[in-house]
Structure 1
Amino acid sequence: MPEKLQAILQHIGDLRRRLIWIIAVLFLTAIIGLFISQQLIAYLRSVPPGSTFEWNAFSPWDVIKVYMNVTILFACVITLPFTLFQLWKFVKPGLRKKEQQATLRYIPFVCLMLIVGLAFAYLVVFPMAFKFTTRMTVSMHLIPTYGVSQYFGFMFSLVIPVSLAFELPVLVMFLTKLRILNPKKLHKFRRYAYFILVIVATMISPPELISHLMVAIPLLILYEISVGVSSIVYRKQLTADQQLETDADEQHIA
Structure 2
Amino acid sequence: MENKNAHLIEHLEELRQRIIRTLIAFLFFLILAFVFVEDIYNWLIKDLDGKLAILGPSDILWVYMVISGVCAIAATIPVAAYQTWRFVAPALTKEESRVAFHFIPGLFLLFLTGIAFGYLILFPIVLNYLTTLSSGHFEAMFTADRYFRFMLHLTLPFGFLFEMPLVVMFLTRLGIINPMRLAKARKLCYFALIVVSILITPPDLISDVLVIIPLLLLYEVSITISKVVYRKRLISEVSVS
Which TM-score applies when normalising by structure 1? 0.90
**Cα drift, residue 90 of structure 1:** 1.0
Q: Per-residue CA shift, 1:104-140, capped at 9, x if unaligned?
A: 111111111111111111100101111111111115x
Aligned to 2:126, which of 99, 124, 129? Answer: 129
Question: Equivalent of 2:112, from 101, 104, 115?
Answer: 115
Residue identity over aligned pairs, in percent, reads 34
Q: Is the 8 A contact 2:96 2:174 kept in 1?
A: no
Shift of 1:214: 2.1
> Is 1:38 the equivalent of 2:35?
no
Residues 162, 218 of structure 1: 8 Å contact kept: no
Partner AA of 1:198 in structure 2: I
Contact kept? 1:162, 1:215, Cα under 8 Å: no
Q: How does 1:46-57 map to 2 (within 5 A)?
A: 46=46, 49=47, 51-57=48-54
Matched, 1:85 2:72: no
Deviations 1:158-217 (A, max 9, x none): 001122110110111122123232222222222332222111100121211122122111
| Partner in structure 2 of residue 214 of structure 1 | 210
Q: Is the 8 A contact 1:53 1:145 kept in 2?
A: no
Runs of 4+ in 1 over 4 A off after TM superposition: none
Amino acid at match of 2:77: L
In 1, the alpha carbon distance for the partners of 2:13 and 2:34 equals 32
Q: Verify: 1:105 aligned to 2:102, yes or no.
A: yes
Residues 103 and 166 in structure 2, CA contact (< 8 A), matched pair in contact too: yes
Aligned match of 1:239: 235
Which whole-Å deviations, capped at 9, do the CAs of 1:211-238 have from their partners, x for residues lacking one?
Answer: 2122111101111110111011011112
Does the 8 Å CA contact 1:56/1:147 hold for their aligned counterparts?
yes
Contact in 2 for aligned 1:56/1:146 (Cα 8 Å): yes
- Alignment RMSD (CA, Å): 1.5
Q: Could you tell me how far 1:29 is from its partner in structure 2?
A: 1.4
The within-5 A match list for 1:1-254 is 2-46=2-46, 49=47, 51-139=48-136, 141-245=137-241
Q: Select the structure of larger CA radius of gyration.
A: 1
CA distance in 1, matches of 2:156, 2:88: 27
Contact 1:161 1:204 in 2 (8 A): yes
One-letter identity of the residue aligned with 1:34:
F
Structure 2: distance between partners of 1:58 and 1:217: 36
| TM superposition shift of 1:79 | 1.4
The amino acid that maps onto 1:105 is: H
